[in-house]
Chain A
């Protein structure tokens, strides 16, 4: 039998149902894997005892015939989701020791469906980053290694880097992520797993620590499209506690995966052929086009003319919303407080926030405050919102000619920890293929599609129409089958050697 930690969620559910193993056994295997992989620093908090208690209860529930959609499956939760009774930090010193008294809707949905929580995974501080190098609790290490530089630790991508590393390293069967500008898809690409950012409004934002509220969206990360489909069905759904939650039916995504994609129109946006991306990513993209054709899809050339403005628009809108959202960290109601004798209230606010936030978070708060301030609001913030409409309109026009759009996920393979740090703008370019999808609120899926010359995973991205995750996952399933991505992270090949 395959080692329990190498099963997919779908196969593990069958194994549990057929009594081949129990959730306690499955969970214990993942707890052991977690203990073996401490050097990856994927978790901020590990909850093995809690997980085993949940697993024992889950086994009873299944025996009584009450198994949920994810009954007995051990998952990791990004430390941006508030978890009742378990520390939740957003990887920030500001929230060290914060223990929510409530559960986020999305993690609560997973728990209600029987999922087991292994712990809370690290991220870039407040989800602001693409490399997991801004966490107060240390860098996360990618379980993959560059074959030509095997002694160098690589980033897992970000911001959901701890989740991606945990899933790739077979510590968790799946994990939750959040995606504001690419934070599910880019780390999925860097770690050789799948991840979907659903349509804005599909998953509730309630209880997810806010970064940029008009862009933030939760989604699943797992090793197969089918597993992502199973998790998404559980995570999604209407929530009256989130004012932008969509009151729409959630399809059984996994059930529709087998369908063919004959006649599906796949758009290829010419503006995504940008300078500076490596030839192998371009080759992989071409390969993806061939796979789609082989499956009977029709390839359509499309244009998204405002693509080049998506990143600068994002770096006005996201910081603006962040500066407003992060105003709540004032040292009064929760989190850090820094104060000395004789300090007044303003001193307390300023000292607390100066010490509690890291450099990247402060930089974005200041950019956001600046672009929202009197005299600059129209020139920066309103201008960006107008171009956001043009970007959204580009997609609407494109979807008159096509059903899904195929692009690379990220402009590079995983890079070394410490690289791309010399200038904030260099890091921002990681999201060049992903941000416009958040600005338009569309669903985007990353699928592991191949290896680079350095032996590192590369992902392809599919972008769908609003609310049409089902088509996206079905098309992604064809790429997954064609790519047949079965490579294991160096973390495992080394251990086997």
Chain B
């Protein structure tokens, strides 16, 4: 599989929304390569006709009545926000 170079690190960092400098990317690249090279041993396992296992136990997801059973807790929801205004979260300007 492909070697992770600094540009790949910068691309992954962007997808991850982690501001990363070129110098940091150069430090991270060999660490990620080390881990990904190590996991490549999984290639030796034959997984033909094996279904992926997303969850360890067979639980049928339970369903509830489709009724509103939560809410009326605006203060709680906003209690830990950095900035709020009139019951809303405030973020930097999105639309010019």
Chain A residues within CB distance 8 Å of chain B: 97-102, 199-201, 214-215, 240, 243-244, 246-247, 306, 308-309, 312-313, 315-316, 323, 327, 330-337, 339, 343-351, 353-354, 357, 362-363, 365-367, 369-370, 373, 376, 379-380, 382-390, 392, 423-425, 438-442, 466
Pick from B34, B56, B89: contact of A425, CB below 8 A: B34
| A99 and B45 within 8 A (CB) | no
Pick from A334, A351, A390: contact of B80, CB below 8 A: A334
**Given contact pairs A349-B17, A350-B18, A366-B28, A332 touches B12 in the complex (Cβ within 8 A):** no
Task: Kindly list chain B residues whose C-beta atoms are within 8 Å of the C-beta of A379.
Answer: 1
| B64 and A240 within 8 A (CB) | yes
Asked if B92 lies at the interface with its beta carbon under 8 angstroms from chain A, I say yes
| B34 and A357 within 8 A (CB) | no
Within the complex, what minimum Cβ distance (angstroms) separates A422 from chain B? Answer: 11
| A309 and B12 within 8 A (CB) | no
Given contacts A102-B76, A345-B94, A370-B12, 17 further A-B contacts (CB under 8 A): A214-B55, A244-B57, A309-B41, A336-B82, A344-B93, A347-B19, A350-B14, A357-B18, A365-B18, A367-B35, A385-B54, A387-B50, A389-B53, A392-B53, A424-B34, A424-B35, A441-B55
Task: Kindly list chain B residues whose C-beta atoms are within 8 Å of the C-beta of A367.
Answer: 32, 35-36
Pick from B18, B52, B54: contact of A354, CB below 8 A: B18
List B36-72 residues whose CB lies under 8 Å from chain A: 36, 38-39, 41-43, 45, 47, 50-57, 59, 61-62, 64
Task: Kindly list chain B residues whose C-beta atoms are within 8 Å of the C-beta of A384.
Answer: 39, 42
Asked if B81 lies at the interface with its beta carbon under 8 angstroms from chain A, I say yes
Within the complex, what minimum Cβ distance (angstroms) separates A444 from chain B? Answer: 12
Task: Kindly list chain A residues whose C-beta atoms are within 8 Å of the C-beta of B14.
Answer: 350
| A240 and B62 within 8 A (CB) | yes
Pick from A240, A353, A380: contact of B19, CB below 8 A: A353
Q: Across the two chains, which residue of chain A brings its CB closest to B80?
A: A334
| B18 and A389 within 8 A (CB) | no
Within the complex, what minimum Cβ distance (angstroms) separates B77 from chain A? Answer: 8
Within the complex, what minimum Cβ distance (angstroms) separates B38 from chain A? Answer: 6
**Given contact pairs A99-B80, A337-B82, A386-B51, A315 touches B35 in the complex (Cβ within 8 A):** yes
| A243 and B57 within 8 A (CB) | no
| A466 and B57 within 8 A (CB) | yes
Bound CA–CA A353/B28 (angstroms): 16
| A331 and B82 within 8 A (CB) | yes
Asked if B31 lies at the interface with its beta carbon under 8 angstroms from chain A, I say yes
Within the complex, what minimum Cβ distance (angstroms) separates B73 from chain A? Answer: 8
Bound CA–CA A309/B43 (angstroms): 10
| A387 and B45 within 8 A (CB) | yes
Within the complex, what minimum Cβ distance (angstroms) separates A90 from chain B? Answer: 14
- For chain B, the bracket of interface size reads 35 or more
Task: Kindly list chain B residues whose C-beta atoms are within 8 Å of the C-beta of A343.
Answer: 92
Task: Kindly list chain B residues whose C-beta atoms are within 8 Å of the C-beta of A102.
Answer: 76
| B89 and A366 within 8 A (CB) | no
Within the complex, what minimum Cβ distance (angstroms) separates A317 from chain B? Answer: 9
Task: Kindly list chain B residues whose C-beta atoms are within 8 Å of the C-beta of A357.
Answer: 18
Bound CA–CA A425/B35 (angstroms): 7
Task: Kindly list chain B residues whose C-beta atoms are within 8 Å of the C-beta of A214.
Answer: 54-56
Q: Across the two chains, which residue of chain B brings its CB closest to A364?
A: B35
| B52 and A382 within 8 A (CB) | yes
Pick from B18, B50, B55: contact of A362, CB below 8 A: B18
| A439 and B16 within 8 A (CB) | no
| Nearest 6 pairs of A and B residues by beta carbon | A441-B56, A385-B52, A334-B80, A389-B53, A350-B19, A101-B76
Q: List 26 A-B residue pairs with CB atoms under 8 Å apart, sorted by A's residue number.
A: A200-B56, A201-B59, A214-B54, A215-B56, A308-B41, A309-B42, A315-B39, A316-B42, A332-B91, A350-B18, A353-B16, A354-B20, A357-B18, A365-B16, A366-B32, A367-B35, A370-B4, A373-B15, A384-B39, A386-B51, A387-B50, A389-B50, A425-B35, A425-B38, A440-B56, A441-B55
Task: Kindly list chain B residues whose C-beta atoms are within 8 Å of the C-beta of A345.
Answer: 91-92, 94
Task: Kindly list chain B residues whose C-beta atoms are within 8 Å of the C-beta of A350.
Answer: 14, 17-19
Task: Kindly list chain A residues whose C-beta atoms are within 8 Å of the C-beta of B51.
Answer: 386, 389
**Given contact pairs A380-B39, A385-B52, A366 touches B79 in the complex (Cβ within 8 A):** no
Task: Kindly list chain A residues whose C-beta atoms are within 8 Å of the C-beta of B13.
Answer: 366
Bound CA–CA A408/B96 (angstroms): 61
**Given contact pairs A353-B17, A439-B56, A386 touches B47 in the complex (Cβ within 8 A):** yes
Task: Kindly list chain A residues whose C-beta atoms are within 8 Å of the C-beta of B47.
Answer: 383, 386-387, 390
Bound CA–CA A445/B87 (angstroms): 47
Q: Across the two chains, which residue of chain B brings its CB closest to A361?
A: B18
Q: Across the two chains, which residue of chain A brings its CB closest to B30?
A: A423
Q: Across the two chains, which residue of chain B brings its CB closest to A440?
A: B56
